[in-house]
Amino acid sequence: MVSKYSRQGVPLEDRNSATTRIVGLVPTGARVLDVGCSAGYLGEALKHRRGARVWGIELDETDAAKARERGFEEVFTADLDRFAWDDLGSREFDAIVFADVLEHLKQPGEAIRGAARHLAPDGLIIASIPNIAHLSVRVELMEGGFAYEKLGLLDDTHLKYFTKRTVEDLFRAAGMGIQRLEATVYDLPEDSIAERLRAVGLETTPRFWEQMNSDEARAYQYLVVAGKGPGEAQPIELPEKAVMEHSRLVSELALLRAKVDRIERLPLYRVAKSARGALRRRTRP
């Protein structure tokens, strides 16, 4: 029986897909190790689109067999948390790919360190990692909880959860320098968010929208390109958001009304208002 991941594919027409972006990040003609390769759908795309030679590591034997059928040079069947990286022998790779894999491991840092031993001198580790700080998860927590899913950010087989900072910490601790950091984006309708939070007694404010429109709330998955030695990724550039201004303006108006109401209740304001009224009456012709 194949795993739940085996029927996935690489939607090459979708530039917001993590696997599509990975295909574009792998150098042409590279020797690639696809870690957690499932049934080989990503490796197959790398072979056809990048002219890559692909090896794999996969836990599920049925999936591993399908990857071999798709033209992988070799597929090692192993539990990555127990994999002996020395079993790769003297093989070196130009790119080692962890596509939505590290979050499934007990010790993802050990996997990165083990893989790095088999990088060519200028080789790269390329990884896609879900962002637990995405707006959808934040809203669920503000509603009082979250539900595990079959796939996605809250996949029921995830063992680790990452934010941008912990992704950077993970690679730094493994001795890798991040050369490039990108993200896929999934934006939620702001009016829907406001309605959901209002249902649990929470009002959105301009400060709330500022935080929720930040890169770290919009990023759905991070894409990491890391090499041996130091490195410093440039700031992430996300596509401009089609902001729904109505919710933002309603929040700002509500805040202004609340401020006006507080001011009007101040004794000094009432005295000033009374004095202005008396002055107007005295100056009438």
CATH number at residue 198: 3.40.50.150
Residue 136 domain flag: yes
What's the pLDDT score for residue 261?
A: 72
Is the domain of 192 the same as that of 228? yes
Is the domain of 68 the same as that of 126? yes
How many domains in the chain? 2
Over its C-alpha atoms, the chain yields an Rg (Å, rounded) of 26
Range of the domain at 113: 18-241
At 254-275, the pLDDT tens digits run: 566 767 777 777 776 565 666 5
What's the pLDDT score for residue 251?
A: 47
Q: Give the DSSP H/E element, type plus range, for residue 99.
A: strand 93-99
SS3 call for 5 = coil
User: Of 220, 225, 234, which Cα lies nearest the Cα of 98?
Assistant: 225
What's the pLDDT score for residue 245?
A: 42
Is the domain of 261 the same as that of 139? no
What's the pLDDT score for residue 265?
A: 74
- Do the beta carbons of residue 108 and residue 100 sit within 8 Å? no
What's the pLDDT score for residue 264?
A: 72
Residue 6 domain flag: no
Is the domain of 223 the same as that of 104? yes
Separation of alpha carbons 57 and 68, rounded Å: 11
Residue 102 domain flag: yes
Residue 4 domain flag: no
Residue spans of the chain under pLDDT 50: 243-251
What's the angle, vertex CA 202, arms to CA 199 and CA 205, rounded to 5? 130
What percent of the chain is helix, strand and coil (3-state, nearest 5)?
40, 20, 40
SS3 call for 168 = helix
Separation of alpha carbons 87 and 143, rounded Å: 47
Residue 39 domain flag: yes
- Phi then psi dihedrals of residue 260, to 5 deg: -60, -40
What's the pLDDT score for residue 246?
A: 42
**DSSP code, position 214:** S
What's the pLDDT score for residue 174?
A: 95
Is the domain of 90 the same as that of 71? yes
Residue 3 domain flag: no
Residue 150 domain flag: yes
Residue 114 domain flag: yes
User: Of 98, 93, 91, 90, which Cα lies nearest the Cα of 123?
Assistant: 93
What's the pLDDT score for residue 175?
A: 94
What's the pLDDT score for residue 263?
A: 76
SS3 call for 136 = helix
Is the domain of 265 the same as that of 162? no
